[in-house]
Amino acid sequence: MKYLLWTARILFGLVFIFSGFVKVIDPLGSAYKFQDYFLAFETPWLFPTALPLSILMSSLELVIGVAVLMGLKMRYSAWGALLFMGFFTPLTLYIALTDPVPDCGCFGDAIIISNWDTFYKNVFILAAAILVFVYRKKIRPLWSETKDWYLVGATSLMVVGLSFYCLAYLPIIDFRPWKVGNDIREKLTPTEEVADTYLIFENQETGETSEYPVNDYPWDDPEWSALWTYKDQRREVTQPFIEAPITNFYIEDEFGFDLTEPILYEEDYQFMVVAYNLETTRAKTFVRKINPLALEAENHGYPFFVLTGASFENIDAFRHEYQTPYPFYQSDAIALKTIIRSNPGLLLLKDGVVIAKWPHRRIPTFNQISKEYLN
């Protein structure tokens, strides 16, 4: 039982620590997932709670994982583990049955698993949580019982602080397809299915069947053709079709022309500002940082543009109010949220590759960018 209990603690603790961490460092991503659930369950009035819930739930998950793994305050952490899994296991079963969202988001953007796989995973974690709860009094802390609260408190403060840091700036680890170094053209291309096709023939005299590769059978042999007739075929998939990591991204101008390919195949450096929602974007950032940067970039011959999910009517009003003399293009607002967790945010691209990303609080001057990247 001692070894079984340790196995349960390690399994539960590591899963909770990993799951909590990947969501703690991306609070906006978790908030967007909560909003997906609110829309699916027809409770959009809960939207204002999405971000607080994101920070609270991911932080709690990580702290419970650390506490169970290290044996800290088991009277509380064992209850927290049991209640956490007691709530989410039946919830994920309902989600697997009804499929309101394609991905539960339990591991953020780090690992995408199906709703049924999420439920099966939760069954094992629930079993571990039950075992930990039943034998919680036998678990001793790895450190000191008198200092448990210090460690739990310090862990909680660090976790919440990390979440707010990543909210204010950007996730310290980027799991999304638009991370620095990625070639976006590759991420827009699906992996095509590769399969071998076999033709099945039947011998008219004996009734036996034989298989041949589609490009290698004796079709030109008269004697063989007289005895064998085609019956069926079989496909053996050696490489399944894999959908492109980026599926809903496009760049379109006010006349409806698709500029995605020309922009992504631009060989020189170019600046792309992402402001998925112009109504909630930090407009002062455009005036104080983006407008001067755009002027310098265009004076040096580098393309500069903005991608937004707003209508062109709203774009015109925004451009007039904040004097933004550079092009604005439309894209899918949901896709833009995955590019950068900042509204607005800045990307430097070259030949379809993401060279650098900055949140609105850290948008540098053109001279700073030029010294570090434009060489």
Q: Are residues 59 and 205 in the same domain?
A: no
> DSSP letter at 242?
B
Q: Can you give the residue range of the structural domain that contains 8?
A: 2-168
Q: Are residues 161 and 231 in the same domain?
A: no
Is the pLDDT score of 141 beyond 80?
A: no
Q: Are residues 122 and 200 in the same domain?
A: no
Q: Residue 176 domain-assigned?
A: no
Q: Residue 253 domain-assigned?
A: no
Rounded mean pLDDT, 184-207:
92
pLDDT at 145: 66
In the three-class reduction of DSSP (H, G, I as helix; E, B as strand; rest coil), residue 46 is classed as helix
pLDDT at 219: 84
Q: Are residues 151 and 210 in the same domain?
A: no
- Per residue in 223-244, pLDDT (tens digit) is 888 899 999 999 999 899 989 9
Q: Are residues 96 and 12 in the same domain?
A: yes
Q: Are residues 124 and 272 in the same domain?
A: no
Q: Residue 329 domain-assigned?
A: yes
Q: Are residues 295 and 340 in the same domain?
A: yes
Q: Which tokens belong to 332?
A: 């899918």
The pairs formed by 30-33 with CB atoms below 8 angstroms and a separation of 24 or more are 30/54, 30/57, 30/58, 30/105, 30/108, 32/337, 33/101, 33/105
Q: Are residues 223 and 115 in the same domain?
A: no
In the three-class reduction of DSSP (H, G, I as helix; E, B as strand; rest coil), residue 306 is classed as strand
Q: Residue 184 domain-assigned?
A: no
194-203, strands of its sheet edge to edge: 209-213, 194-203, 228-239
Q: Are residues 158 and 21 in the same domain?
A: yes
Task: State the total domains in the chain.
Answer: 3
- Per residue in 180-193, pLDDT (tens digit) is 999 999 999 999 98
- Rounded to a whole number of angstroms, the CA Rg of the chain reads 28
Q: Are residues 330 and 226 in the same domain?
A: no
- Per residue in 239-267, pLDDT (tens digit) is 999 899 998 899 999 999 999 999 999 99
Q: Are residues 145 and 208 in the same domain?
A: no
Rounded mean pLDDT, 91-107:
87
